[in-house]
């Protein structure tokens, strides 16, 4: 049996889970509300403050869906109770980040600034302090959405291996390459 799939999900205080027709799971909490459509073959049971996902057979498809949907529901519960954050760091001379509301303006070495609108479900913050690299903070309750938005922002200027310039996740290690060696 799936190790991830069979693990029960504990519901923290202030979190409500509702399973409606069509296997739609709604999770409400202090940080927001999320919904997820579950595969119709799987069943979701709520007992004594814990949620369990079970599968009907041991087919490969059922085994893979079992762990997937249990993880998705668990991420929803953590998201509405604690929330998720991602931090991006802009490394490079003249690289800047500003925001007005949810509109992010990036200046990352191109001849023009890049404007990117972050969805309303995500809270956006930019920080530029003298002596340190500019930072972009993303926070919200939907782990998938935050990861996707962070990946899109990073794709504007991926970190390169020679000087390490670009947009990287905070704490990410960039594999560095040696440059050209000088000729005789």
The residue extents of the domains of the chain are 3-81, 84-169
Whole-model pTM? 0.88
Domains 3-81 and 84-169 equal at CATH topology level: yes
CA-based R_g, the chain, Å: 21
Place of tokens 């595969």: 39
pLDDT digits (tens, 9 = 90+) for 47-62: 888 999 999 999 999 9
**Is the alpha carbon torsion for 46, 48, 52, 54 positive or negative?**
negative
Which class would CATH give 84-169?
alpha beta
pLDDT of amino acid 158: 93
CATH architecture, domain defined by 3-81: Alpha-Beta Complex (3.90)
Given a contact cutoff of 8 angstroms between Cβ atoms, the answer to whether 139 and 150 are in contact is: no
Q: What is the pLDDT of residue 1?
A: 47
| Contact indicator for 85, 137 with CB cutoff of 8 Å | yes
Q: How far is CA 80 from the centre of its chain?
A: 13
């Amino acid at each position: 049996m799936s190790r991830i799939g069979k693990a029960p999900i504990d519901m923290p205080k202030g979190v409500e889970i509702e399973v409606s027709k069509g296997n739609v799971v709604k999770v409400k909490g202090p940080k927001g509300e999320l919904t997820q459509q579950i595969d119709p073959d799987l069943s979701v049971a709520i007992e004594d403050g814990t949620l369990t996902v079970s599968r009907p057979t041991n087919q490969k498809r059922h085994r893979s869906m079992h762990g997937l949907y249990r993880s998705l529901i668990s991420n929803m519960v953590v998201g509405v109770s604690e929330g998720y954050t991602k931090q991006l760091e802009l490394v490079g001379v003249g690289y800047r980040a500003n925001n007005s509301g949810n509109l992010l303006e990036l200046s990352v070495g191109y001849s023009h600034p890049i404007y990117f609108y972050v969805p309303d479900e995500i809270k956006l913050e930019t920080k530029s302090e003298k002596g340190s690299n500019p930072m972009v903070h993303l926070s919200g309750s939907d782990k998938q959405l935050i990861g996707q938005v962070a990946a899109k922002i990073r794709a504007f200027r991926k970190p390169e291996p020679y000087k390490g310039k670009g947009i990287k996740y905070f704490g990410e290690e960039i594999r560095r390459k040696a440059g050209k060696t000088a000729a005789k």
